Structure 1
Amino acid sequence: MSGLSGREREGFRNIMRLMTKLDLLSLSDTVTNKLIVVENVTEAKETILSFTKNAEELLRRKKIHRDLIFKYLADEGVIMPPSSEKRQLISRTLEYWSSGKVTVKVEADKSPRCDTDDTTEKASDSTNKSGAGFDPLLLGQQFCQWFFQLLNSQNPTLDQQPQDWGAQHFWPDVKLRLLARAGSEQMKDFLGAELVSLRLLALSREERLLFSPNLEPQGLKALASPHGLVIVAVAGTIHRDTACLGIFEQIFGLIRSPLENNTWKIKFLNLKIRGQDALGGTEVVAPALTYNSSELQLLCS
């Protein structure tokens, strides 16, 4: 029987959303000494929680990387020095959970971040109902969880198995507008699924950037046009190793593909990056969107 409290279980659920499928399956094997065979990510999570004796024991497991705990705490608004060691992060996590302030993310758990197909299909399922039941914000949350987990998995510093990144997630005529402000301002446009896919991949794989989206209300907006286009805008922080380099704002234009199980594919992206020197001391822990609904509405027309 699990020795975890309800708060600890919710905290671990949020941490496990940041893990790859392979790491979750491996962790399940470790926790159960391979006595329990699991079929999928959902079973792995429940098995891990059920067979864990105490929270500290699970946090110390090798598959619960230091960077996972650091990112989890940052997502929860618990600020730790980037140089913090794993033992310090574990101690702060246990203290946070004992305070009873754990964020419960029920809706997100319906769409595991670790499995690309599951996420896109379940996001589609949530929008295949009547128009009245369509929630663009829910789609936006699920999409951002999937997209940034997928992109971050390409970063070699995380020592994860890269997930299935590629041109298949974009419409053939997709357009990326990349605006970077770090000292000087640079703007470049990239056209076509292959070129856009490779440019974004380079941000993670070659430039080793990690994107941490703020999925709270001030950091995420989504709206839908009558013509099937969904606009998702999200703000977040950018990291390399344990250093926070600055903030980003990204706008996605999404359209469902009826020929591919109604999964959502990216029609256009606007990515704005601002380095620390361009922020002028602005708070970057949980950045808010600067785009308002009227500006996003213009993109739907």
Structure 2
Amino acid sequence: MSGLSETERAGCSVILKLMSKADLYSLSDTVTNRMVVVENSTEAMETILSFSKSAEEFLRRKKVHRDLIFKHLAKEGVVMSPNSEKHQLVKRTLELWSSGKAAVNKGETDNTRDKTSDLQDEVGFDPQVLGQQFCRWLFQILNSQNASLGQQPQDWGPQHFWPDVKLRLLSRAGSEQMEEFNGAELVSLRLLALTRDEQLLLSPNLESHGIRTLVSPHGLVLVAVAGTIHRDEICLGIFEQIFGLIQSPMENNIWKIKFVNLKIRGQDALGGTEVEAPSLTYNSSELRFLCS
């Protein structure tokens, strides 16, 4: 009865899990014309999926609020303006699901994305593709720590960093503040605090103007990415982040983070600049200097 493809069904399931129990029951009544009585949330979700004629019909339902679709796209690394209308979010979601690039279609679960292993096997030796895959992986597990997304937190911790990793965090929101942290435990905790404690959502721009990757002759892979910062539906500003990655010689195909430079600019520091899909401001020479 359902007109949903496997990818669409998986994507709709992700959105349904973000809905309240009351909205689930209400939507189940709507799609079945109150002809099916459900006993719990699991039955309600399965009923909705079975009776939905198409992904577009599902996404356009009143109970599928625009903020749920926005959160789903953000988890998938799709940058959208917080002011986007629901029909724009629906259109982009349908494009994502039909493209085959959605994480729900690739089975990127906790078991397959819980560490920085096998990245080289997956993407070959194209540095730009490696950078995109790394950013999708990292921001997915980091954003999963934000309880407001209603997502099961994925595996985050010092195991993803080299023991002597360094973090430089420069924030410009009213006043300028610089923080520095050394060591895998402190660096992982400070980054974790951004999403878990400060309830931020970091949405990277993975288009060509938002990410750049360089490789040094000594094996250091430099990944620079720009993106927007949100809390709930409010865009707070933009960020630029540079990661230095080194492959572990003792562990097969595992990459760990050697250093992180994070620059955050709040809305008041942007002077009205457009923040949708921000571009990197670092030039090639600055990035090459970090590689040397």
TM class, shorter-length: 0.7 to 0.9
Q: Does residue 114 of the first structure (1) align with residue 109 of the second (2)? A: yes
1:245 aligns with 2:236: yes
Q: Of residues 270, 274, 278 in structure 2, which corresponds to 1:279?
A: 270
Q: How big is each residue's C-alpha offset from its partner over 1:188-215, in whole Å with a ceiling of 9 and x where there is no partner?
A: 1100000001111111111111100000
In the alignment, residue 81 of structure 1 is paired with which amino acid? N
Q: Distance in 2 between matches of 1:264 and 1:29?
A: 41
Instruction: Please report the TM-score for the alignment, with normalisation by the length of structure 2.
Output: 0.75
Whether the aligned pair in 2 keeps the contact of 1:154 and 1:201 (CA below 8 Å) is yes
Please list, as runs of the form range in 1=range in 2, the aligned pairs for 1:218-233 lying within 5 A after superposition: 218-233=209-224
SS in 2 for 1:247: strand
Give distance in 1, aligned partners of 2:147 and 2:93.
Answer: 30
2:144 to 150, 153, 158: 153
Q: Comparing 228-237 with 115-124, which one deviates more in the overlay?
A: 115-124
In structure 2, do the counterparts of structure 1 residues 29 and 232 end up closer, same or farther at CA, with 3 Å as the change threshold? Answer: farther
Change (3 A) 1:113 1:236: farther
Give the TM-score normalised by the residue count of structure 1. Answer: 0.73
Counterpart secondary structure, 1:121: coil
Give me the whole-angstrom Cα distance separating, in 1, the residues matched to 2:184 and 2:231.
Answer: 26
Match of 1:140 among 131, 142, 156: 131
Alpha-carbon distance between aligned partners in 2 of 1:204 and 1:265, rounded to the nearest angstrom: 20
C-alpha separation in 2, matches of 1:109 and 1:123: 18
Which of 211, 226, 234 does residue 202 from structure 2 map onto? Answer: 211
Q: Which residue does the alignment assign to 1:59?
A: 59
Larger radius of gyration: 2
Conservation of the 8 A alpha-carbon contact between 2:172 and 2:266: yes
- For this pair of structures, how many residues does the alignment match? 265
Q: Secondary structure at the match of 1:298?
A: helix
The amino acid that maps onto 2:117 is E
Shift of the alpha carbon at 1:70?
1.4
Unpaired runs of at least 5, structure 2: 19-40
Question: What is the alpha-carbon distance in structure 2 between the residues aligned to residue 280 and residue 144 of structure 1?
Answer: 28
In the superposition, relative to structure 1, how do residues 162 and 218 fare at CA in structure 2: closer, same or farther (>3 Å)?
Answer: same
Q: Deviations over 1:183-238 (max 9, x none)?
A: 11111110000000111111111111110000000000001112111000000000
Counterpart secondary structure, 2:251: coil
Cα deviation, 1:76-125, whole Å, max 9, x if unaligned, reads 6654537xxxxx62x44445678x79884659789654336447334131
Assess if the C-alpha contact under 8 Å between 2:79 and 2:205 holds in 1.
Answer: no
CA distance in 2, matches of 1:249, 1:197: 18
Q: Determine the C-alpha separation between the residues in 2 that align with 1:124 and 1:158.
A: 30
Deviation per CA, 1:122-175: give whole Å up to 9, x if none.
413146xxxxx5111111111100101111111111121111111111111000
Per-residue CA deviations over 1:31-62 (Å, capped at 9, x if unaligned) read: 656xxxxxxxxxxxxxx8x996311454379x
Tell me if structure 1 keeps the 8 A contact 2:80–2:277: no
| 1:231–1:254 contact (8 Å) kept in structure 2 | yes
Instruction: Label 1:163 to 1:80 Cα distance change in 2 as closer, same or farther (>3 A).
Output: closer
Q: Which stretches in structure 1 are left out of the alignment for 5+ residues?
A: 34-47, 83-87, 128-132
Does 2:80 match 1:81? no
- 1:123 to 2:148 alignment: no
Shifted more, 107-116 versus 252-261: the winner is 107-116
1:173 to 161, 164, 171: 164
**Percent identity of equivalent pairs:** 62
2:28 counterpart residue number: none
- Structure 1 pair 136/95, CA: closer, same or farther in 2 (3 Å)? closer
Contact 2:210–2:279, Cα closer than 8 Å, also in 1:
yes
For 1:236, what is the secondary structure of its paired residue? strand
Q: Contact 1:113 / 1:149 at 8 angstroms: preserved in 2?
A: no
Code of the residue aligned with 2:177 in structure 1: it is Q
One-letter code aligned to 2:110: D
RMSD (Å), alpha carbons: 3.9
Cα distance, 1:296 vs. partner?
1.0
Q: Secondary structure at the match of 1:289?
A: coil
Letter aligned with residue 150 of structure 2: D
- Distance in 2, Cα, partners of 1:51 & 1:65: 19
